Amino acid sequence: MTSDDIRAELQRLNRLPPWGRVQGDDWDRASEFIYRIHSLDELRRETRRVAVQRGFPVQRFAAYVIRRWYNFHTHQVVLEIFCAHPRVRREANPRHHHIDFYLDGVPFDLKLTAFPRAYSRPLDDARAEPAGLVNWLYREQSREGRYHTANRLFVVFHHVAEPERTWEVRRMFDLIERAVGAFLEKPTLIRADVLGPDGVRRRPQAGAIFCIYPEDSR
């Protein structure tokens, strides 16, 4: 399946259900098929099969699976957008925990996130002074799975009129391409100030790319 095909499949999703439970290893292992399945119809068939086989509640497991699938494949499309730029080189190991690509030779992890409602400052302030938001995102990241204090680029999404529809901005790929392209033409990086889980303070390179719908909402 081509990149255009997966983009089309992502557009077919009418709603993104809530997780329904805290993300954990048991259901993550059971839903690893999300990585290889691109078709939404095939995903639904496999979800039901696995749920029945393992005795999971079908609707709750389906909600969990669709969120993992959507988040993973939108991430992969955005990663492709980055890697198409001449300043960017993809990390050869797709399972690397801390590196997705190299920008001008510097390694970065890519993180897609909604503008956090819990952040204490408004969106306009975050866009004007992204260091505060970047540091907050490092501090508040999940302690599971991909927690780290290495270099990171955050792509921050927000639907201004209807924040509950921010999930849809993750698949507005034309908007994302413009935002990423503008950033990569003249990257603005900061030094974050992060206290690692080992108690050691680190200063990774980081940046924030804002994908806001509508684009002229500033």
Q: Is 41 exposed, middle or buried (0-12, 13-18, 19+ CB in 10 A)?
A: exposed
> Among residues of the chain, what percentage have pLDDT more than 70?
95
28-40 burial code (b ≥16 CB/10 A, e <16): eebbebbeebbeb
Give me the domain span that covers residue 127.
85-213
11 and 73 share one domain: yes
97 and 75 share one domain: no
Q: pLDDT per position in the chain (218 positions), as tens?
A: 778 899 999 999 999 999 888 888 899 999 999 999 999 999 999 999 999 999 999 999 999 999 999 999 999 999 999 999 999 999 999 999 899 999 999 999 999 999 999 999 999 999 999 999 999 999 887 655 556 789 999 999 999 999 999 999 999 999 999 999 999 999 999 999 987 777 788 999 999 999 999 986 55
pTM: 0.93
159 and 202 share one domain: yes
pLDDT at residue 193, as a whole number: 92
Instruction: Name residue 198's amino acid.
Output: D
61 and 157 share one domain: no
14 and 111 share one domain: no
Pairing of strands 205-213, 152-159: parallel
Report whether 149 contacts 138 (CB < 8 A): yes
Helix axes 58-83, 40-54, angle to 10 degrees: 140
204 and 104 share one domain: yes
149 and 164 share one domain: yes
Report whether 171 contacts 192 (CB < 8 A): no
89 and 73 share one domain: no
**Structural domain contains residue 218:** no
pLDDT at residue 45, as a whole number: 98
Domain total of the chain? 2
* 19-61: pLDDT as tens digits: 888 888 899 999 999 999 999 999 999 999 999 999 999 999 9
pLDDT at residue 136, as a whole number: 94
**Structural domain contains residue 35:** yes
